[in-house]
Amino acid sequence: MPALLWADNVSFRYAAGGPLVVDGVTVRLADGALAGILGPNGSGKTTLLRLLSGTRRPTSGRVLLGNRPMDRLSRREVARQIAVVPQETELAFEYSVIEIVLMGRHPHLGVFTVEGPEDIRIAQEALAATGTAHLERRPFHELSGGEKQRVVIAAALAQSADLLLLDEPTASLDLGYQLDISSLLQRLNRDHEVTMAISTHDLNLAAAICRELILMRDGRVLAAGPTEEVLTSDNVRRLYDVEADVHVNDDTGHMTVVPVRRIAR
């Protein structure tokens, strides 16, 4: 299956002469992928997500969207194909839920053009797909954390993009909302054919929903490939300096990671 999004030997540093935060990373997302990017704090996984989204340009190497170098595409062209769900959404003004979701239509609007009936229809379909249609007129700031996250994902869907990049989509959510978001992402990938890459600390989330994993440490890829091959006790030890029991849960059928103890590096 051809790569839809490809980081080709990319490196990145935030300041000239500073350390490489991402160091010679090559990853490929095929059409229809549901991939997890895992690693400890400071591993470079969020920076890699930013390079893949085009919000940061690599210090060296290149990122291709389809077969086109991303640095030759306008921000509008990229936004029509890649939608990003950040870890936190801070708003300077009070917006309703439908206004938030309609923001996803901006890459498809001309200069000085306002949203029309078709844009509203697409936004409402995105709300329905994320189970938030009943919140359409609610002020965004009044929503719970899980509701906000689903609305932000709806805004990303309204971009009508082929790719969805998510940074810690279940961070700070309680267990019930974590399950809701996990189910939502699987459904969007399966039923709406949205290609996804998810940066996360949550090994069990990745094990439950991701078909492939990219493990990062110190800015480099430690391992990558199908989840059942990559998520091993040895790789968890190398990634986090933690001994862990990795096994297939008999009830769910997916892999489960149980941390046992930290080990000296």
Q: pLDDT at position 3, please?
A: 59
Q: pLDDT at position 2, please?
A: 56
Mean pLDDT confidence for 111-135: 90
Contacts 24+ apart (CB under 8 A), 15-22: 20/59, 20/219, 21/47, 21/219, 22/47, 22/48, 22/51, 22/58, 22/219
Mean pLDDT confidence for 124-133: 93
| 156 pLDDT above the threshold of 60 | yes
pLDDT tens readout for residues 69-110: 999 999 999 999 999 998 777 776 789 999 999 999 988 887
| Alpha-carbon span 77 to 7, nearest angstrom | 18
pLDDT tens readout for residues 2-24: 558 999 999 999 998 899 999 99
CATH of domain 1-81+162-265: 3.40.50.300
pLDDT tens readout for residues 10-69: 999 999 889 999 999 999 999 999 999 999 999 999 999 999 999 999 999 999 998 899
Characterize the bridge pairing of strands 22-30 and 3-12: antiparallel
| 225 pLDDT above the threshold of 60 | yes
The amino acid present at 131, given as its one-letter code, is G
Average pLDDT, the chain: 91
Q: What percent of the chain has pLDDT over 90?
A: 70
The residues pairing with 226 across neighbouring beta strands, listed in sequence order, are 212
Q: What percent of the chain has pLDDT over 70?
A: 97
Q: pLDDT at position 93, please?
A: 77
Look-up: residue for tokens 């992928």?
33
pTM, entire model: 0.90
Confidence tier at 217 by pLDDT (50, 70, 90) = very high
Nearest one of 105, 100, 158, 171 to 128, comparing CA atoms: 158
Q: pLDDT at position 86, please?
A: 87
Mean pLDDT confidence for 189-207: 92
Question: Can you give the residue ranges of every domain in the chain?
Answer: 1-81+162-265, 87-160
